[in-house]
A = this chain, B = another copy of it.
Amino acid sequence: MRQIAILGIGQTKIDEHWDLSLREIGGNAAFAAMQDAGMDRVDALFVGNMLSPLVSGQNQLGAFFSDWIGLWRQESVKVEAACASGAAALRAGLMAVAAGDIDSALVIGVEKMTDKAGHDVTAALATAADADYEGEQGVSFVGLNALMMRRYMHEYGWKHADFAPFSINAHANAMHNPFARLHQKINVDQFEKSAMVATPINLLDASPTGDGAAAVVLVPAERVASLNGKPRITIAGSASATDSIAIHSRKDPLFLSAGYQSAKRAYEMAKVEPHDIDVFELHDAFSIMSALSLEACGFAERGKGVRLGLDDEISPKGRLPICTRGGLKARGHPVGATGMYQVVEVAQQLRGECNGTQVDGAKIGMAQNIGGSGATILTHILKAE
């Protein structure tokens, strides 16, 4: 497989963008990435999105965005894997350029969530679960994660406050990210006292949704041998794996099997091991997911994921910096766009563009994007050269 580089990156602030439509939000990230890449045309467009049919009454986002962006006539398609739609679109674009049929691709992750009332969006998000066996029971997404968190606390003896470092780190890092949804430091006391959503998940365990888009331009790596001193960023590892869509069908509901599988394959492809990772953008939709993702990727033993937070290893100066731009928790979680934010942020780290939360000497970064309660998980490893 030929090696692919990320030549340009772009993103919008995550917010309630009442003044911007779906096409404007996605377009703004796309234009930023194209400008960053110094290109005004690419061969194909890949769009990651989950909710537009349900929230905006709009399907066929491939043609929709190639039209708006001005990529007339070019190949375009939408890819959906619930909250892993962003990384799934990246992988689809990667495969197409790697196959050699096209020589450049723009990948956008985009979500416009605020055009419907909150309960409609909650119902729309539940389409990521098993409609026949989970959705039918009225279980919301926070409800499913609450079941997992409660079980984890019961199984391994952790208390709620033990998850606080994940949210505190995310909020602290977001202070330095102008694109983040929330700019508000928090402490353990606030974490413990915030409003309950679905026991044991409270407001500060949960990520805020929002409108946003992030994009990258992919080209064959040999085309960008020299970038005037800027490091060349390649996608060294890429893998996708699945698990049962309903939690109750899983052998072990506290093990992200698809996270383990996709991380394993990505490590093999990139020829690295967990200890080689300098920065890790993980999918902290809920604080429990931080622990489970760290364990699935080999950064902690089973049931010990929260340890990394408690031992202060996850800050930008720690052994394994995570959520360095705020993570889903504070940067925000525009569901189908999130996977692309993660990749853009890893690229920023490898370029040394993260004032305030820059990880010194970051050369290898990883992003893990989770769809549903762990049914689709993609892992990407980026290298700076």
Residues of A whose CB lies within 8 Å of any CB of B are 1, 21, 23, 44, 50-51, 53-54, 56-64, 66-67, 71-82, 88, 91-92, 94-96, 98-101, 123-124, 126-128, 130-132, 135, 238-246, 249, 257-258, 261, 269, 371-372, 375-376
Name the B residues within 8 Å of A130 (CB-CB): 58, 64
Q: What is the distance, in angstroms, from A285's C-beta to the closest C-beta of chain B?
A: 14
CA distance A123 to B57 in the complex (A): 9
Q: For A67, give its contact among B53, B56, B131, B249 (CB under 8 Å).
A: B249
Of all A-B residue pairs in the complex, the 9 with the closest CB atoms, nearest first, are A63-B375, A98-B99, A59-B127, A60-B82, A75-B240, A58-B131, A99-B99, A63-B242, A57-B131
Note all chain B residues with C-beta closer than 8 A to A64.
130, 245, 375
Interface centre among A66, A82, A88, A95 (most CB of B within 10 A): A95
Given A98-B99, A101-B98, A376-B62, does the pair A75, B371 have CB atoms closer than 8 Å? Answer: no
Tell me if A53 and B95 are in contact (CB < 8 A).
no
When distances are taken between beta carbons in the complex, the residues of chain B under 8 Å from A72 are 242-244
List 13 contacting pairs A-B, 8 Å CB cutoff, sorted by A: A21-B132, A57-B123, A58-B127, A58-B135, A59-B128, A60-B81, A62-B88, A66-B242, A67-B375, A72-B242, A73-B257, A92-B95, A95-B99
A271 → chain B closest CB, angstroms: 15
User: For residue A94, which residue of chain B has the nearest CB?
Assistant: B99
CB–CB A73/B127 < 8 A: no
Q: Which of B21, B60, B242 contacts A62 (CB 8 A)?
A: B242
What distance in Å separates the Cβ of A5 from its nearest Cβ neighbour in chain B?
15
**Distance to closest chain B CB from A241 (angstroms):** 5
Q: How far does the alpha carbon of A238 sit from the alpha carbon of B78 in the complex, in Å?
A: 17
Q: In the complex, which residues of chain B have a beta carbon less than 8 angstroms from the beta carbon of A54?
A: 53-54
Chain B residues within an 8 Å CB radius of A62: 81, 88, 242, 376
Q: Say whether, besides A60-B372, A249-B67, A372-B60, A73 and B241 are in contact (CB < 8 Å).
A: yes
* Closest beta carbon of chain B to A235's beta carbon, Å: 11
Partner of A53, one of B98, B127, B269: B127
17 additional contacts (CB under 8 A) given A56-B131, A75-B239, A99-B100: A1-B100, A50-B59, A51-B53, A53-B53, A53-B124, A54-B54, A59-B82, A60-B128, A60-B245, A62-B81, A62-B376, A63-B372, A72-B243, A73-B258, A77-B80, A77-B88, A77-B240
Minimum Cβ distance to chain B for residue A207 (Å) = 18
Residues of B within 8 A of A51 (CB): 53
Inter-chain contacts of A376 with B (CB < 8 A): 60, 62-63, 76-77
Bound form: Cα–Cα A73–B241 in Å? 5
State A1–B95 Cα separation when bound (angstroms): 11
A372–B66 CA distance with the chains assembled, in angstroms: 14
